[in-house]
Amino acid sequence: MVTASRPGPPVPPPPPSPSDVAAARPGALRPGAGRSDAGSSDEARSRGVFAGPSLGVEPKTVMWVLTVFVAVVLYAVSVPIDAAVYHVHVAAAFGIALVQVGSLLLAMWNGWAAAAAFLAGQAAFGLLGSADPGLPWPVTVPQLILLCAVLALMVLRGSKQAAVALWLGAIVVPLVIAFVPGHGATPDGVIANLVTSGAVSALVLGAAFAVTAGRARLDAALDEERRSSAVEHERRLIAEERTRIAREMHDVIAHGMSIIQVQASSAPYRLTGLDEAATAEFAEIAASARSAMAEMRALLGVLRDPAGEPETAPQPGLAELPELVASVERAGVPVSLELAPGLLDGGPAARAAYRIVQESLSNVLRHAPGAATLVSVDRASDGRAGLELVVRNASSTDAAVDAGAGAGATGAGEAVDPSAARREPGAGHGLIGMRERVRMLGGRIESGETVDGGFEVRATLPLTADTDIRSAADRSGDS
């Protein structure tokens, strides 16, 4: 085994980019996750109706502030009107106003409790008060305003059934009070008062229902658009990753074709005694190789990003894993590398293994800084020609606390927004890039959380006859 487990000096992880911060906020959209991150249904509804993105304040806080302000104003108006105009005792006026105005605050918490409080205060007012001829009775103007505010708030908070029950009760209770003698109201005045209050409150109730229904349709359309955008975003990432893999394959194939062309061109000079037919055949092989390379360059020009720079560095493989591990250790992540002896570097499987390890360690640095990580590369355990790759990091809770990263870190291999990632040249797009590479080779990959709270990526990469990676013992046995 080749083991590289000596950690270097810890280095703080790079600061998060603005898109990382945005993705960490509640409700931020992640690729392929068509979901709603709102809390309760009441909070979602209040966010949709009252929230303004530019306020920088929680929607629920805004609702509470407005509700308390309206309650204070109505309380200050109701007490003197009940005591001076409707002949309610001053102490009773304070109590009745407190119960009724309190229903506005209760509507933020429980709709049925708010309805009970409002109707109880209305009944007490009807029994203790009286009206001079010409005054609104049994529903006063402050009570009507309060009723409309409570109904609207209850509907917007999701207590629709309680709001309908309150509206019916606000008609039945005053109607019963109207039959109690000694309140000084005429039948015509009572009927006009009840019709007016019922119509106005019904209008407000209907408007609140219309607003919530429209908001629900808008939320459904936005959710559908988010899901469509997430699916399209993932498709774009897959297309980009496949394009980048195709560019890598060009470099690999071009290297092989160059060797074929050079060998075929130099064969007549290196080998003596070749007849004209053999010389012509070597010349045709060299010409075919040059033609194939020219066509690949033309196709690569279509795939290459116009703004990108050509990649001229050789493609890394298993031999570069110790160097990759050492660079991650210098960033403060202790990594143990277990590389089976005798594995020779080369072929698509080795390059794919390097890229999978690179992406997994990059995500450990980004999401679980300081978590102990194991990288294991061995021959496939099922007896087939192939590589078995495991990247596993321990629980990131303690490491994240030590690094000041918070307890919400995740493990290696999690798909992240590529615009927010600081990745090395050639790195993929999280699990999307890993899946595409393994799929290209006909292998399989599994990833997920471990029982101890860490994260594991396990991949099996098959080897073909042309790209087999054999040990020296295998080669000697074959010979």
pLDDT tens string, the chain, 479 residues long: the values are 334 433 344 344 444 444 443 343 333 333 333 333 334 444 444 444 444 444 445 778 888 899 999 999 999 999 999 999 998 999 999 999 999 999 999 999 899 999 999 999 999 998 998 888 888 888 999 999 999 999 999 999 889 999 999 999 999 998 888 777 777 677 888 888 899 999 999 999 999 999 999 989 999 999 999 998 888 888 888 877 777 777 666 666 776 777 788 888 888 888 888 888 888 898 899 888 888 877 777 766 666 555 555 555 567 888 889 999 998 888 888 999 998 887 756 677 888 888 899 888 888 887 888 889 999 998 887 667 788 999 999 876 544 434 443 333 333 333 333 333 333 443 445 677 788 788 878 889 999 888 888 899 999 988 753 444 333 334 333 43
Long-range contacts of residues 303-311, Cβ cutoff 8 Å, at least 24 apart: 303/243, 303/246, 303/247, 304/247, 311/247, 311/251, 311/425, 311/426
Rounded Cα–Cα distance for residues 133 and 318 (Å): 97
Amino acid (one-letter) located at 271: L
Residue 260 pLDDT: 86
Q: Give which of 211, 286, 207, 281 is closest to 45, Cα–Cα.
A: 211
Residues near 477 by beta carbon (within 8 Å), at least 6 away in sequence? none
Using one digit for the tens of pLDDT, what is the confidence trace for 353-404? Answer: 888 998 888 888 878 888 899 999 988 876 677 889 999 998 765 444 344 4
Burial class for 358, CB neighbours closer than 10 Å (0-12, 13-18, 19+): buried
Asked if residue 138 has a cis previous peptide bond (ω within 30° of 0), the answer is yes
Rounded Cα–Cα distance for residues 45 and 157 (Å): 7
Residue 73 pLDDT: 94
Rounded Cα–Cα distance for residues 195 and 174 (Å): 11
Count the neighbouring beta carbons within 10 Å of the beta carbon of residue 52: 9
- pTM score: 0.45
Do 414 and 393 meet the contact criterion of CB atoms below 8 Å apart? no
396-420: string of b/e by CB count within 10 Å (b at 16+)?
bbebbeebebeeebbbbbbbbbbeb
Q: Give which of 207, 185, 205 is closest to 194, Cα–Cα.
A: 185
Rounded Cα–Cα distance for residues 147 and 222 (Å): 33
**CB-facing half-sphere around the CA of 158: CA atoms within 13 A:** 13
Q: At what angle do helices 90-106 and 111-128 cross, to 10 degrees?
A: 160
Rounded Cα–Cα distance for residues 81 and 209 (Å): 31
Residue 112 pLDDT: 94
